[in-house]
A and B are shown apart, each in its own frame.
Chain A
């Protein structure tokens, strides 16, 4: 199998694209930065919407970015079952674009929170491409860095996410317990990450790309990339998508 090719979308104001590309490089993958004004993903096997402040986050986080020309290609890629991950601002863009339900609001304490955060893997089965190498109920530790990460959806949507096992990650303390104190932004039901119905699109506020080397404090984030590698290796269709 040839090295996975990952398209990392760059909006004006994106700030995590080089970290994602760096981690892909550690794995020997081919990461390409794709400017938001482009209309093609260059035959990617997976698409990353990184963190940052796309278009300055003006009006609402992700509100302008979702209309960037590249988003039509991202939506088509997701609709075809291609793996898409949106971290932090990328999660906000995915929600604005309607690829994931709900929205991200100002943190309940109004502070920008930059810290390490414990998370509980709720449902690895909900997203084989991104969580396939993780196990249910295990704790992982990833950095968070956001001012607007308070996940909100109406009760019916939340119930639907829970019932269908699409809550991927929850904020917890180091013992694995969810609580108000362990919730860094006031997210409803301590939700840190969700998937679409098909499971190929994952949105999460934490930054897996910032926890991929022991030198920076942890390697739990690398496991999401390794999940993707495992999944792509079992997908003959991945090569066909490049055509």
Chain B
């Protein structure tokens, strides 16, 4: 089966996020004065094959642990969905 994992990686709460603070300042400068805080992060879309949902979840968890996030300063969360076989049209392309 084909799977798509969307992995979100963010700095742990409490770690200063100067990029997020800069983005928040940009939003306020545009007139969104009510913006109090922005935390920025990364979104990684990982497509891969696994026999079933449990194996797919285990695989993504292992990817996060081994490479995608550094637990010293980051937290990773993910959503997983099965994706169907590619449509006939796209195969022709």
Interface on A for B, CB 8 Å cutoff? 59-60, 63-64, 67, 95-96, 101-103, 105-110, 150, 152-154, 186
Contact = CB atoms under 8 A, between A and B. Distances in A.
A186 B22 contact: no
Contacts of A107: 18
A67 B72 CA distance: 17
Given A152-B72, A152-B73, A106 B67 contact: no
B27 to A, nearest CB: 16
A103 B16 contact: no
From DSSP, what is the main secondary structure of chain B's interface residues?
A: mixed
Contact of B72 (A110, A153, A186): A153
Instruction: List the 9 closest pairs (A to B, CB-CB), nearest first.
Output: A103-B72, A103-B73, A108-B18, A110-B18, A152-B73, A103-B70, A60-B70, A106-B18, A108-B16
Nearest to B72: A103
A86 to B, nearest CB: 16
Give chain B's interface residue range (CB within 8 Å of chain A): 10 to 19
A144 B70 CA distance: 24
B66 to A, nearest CB: 9
Nearest to A155: B14
Given A102-B72, A103-B72, A109 B18 contact: yes
A142 B73 CA distance: 27
B72 to A, nearest CB: 4
B29 interface: no
B4 interface: no
A63 B15 contact: no
A107 B18 CA distance: 8
A60 B70 CA distance: 8
Interface in B19-67: 19, 22, 67
Contacts of B22: 110
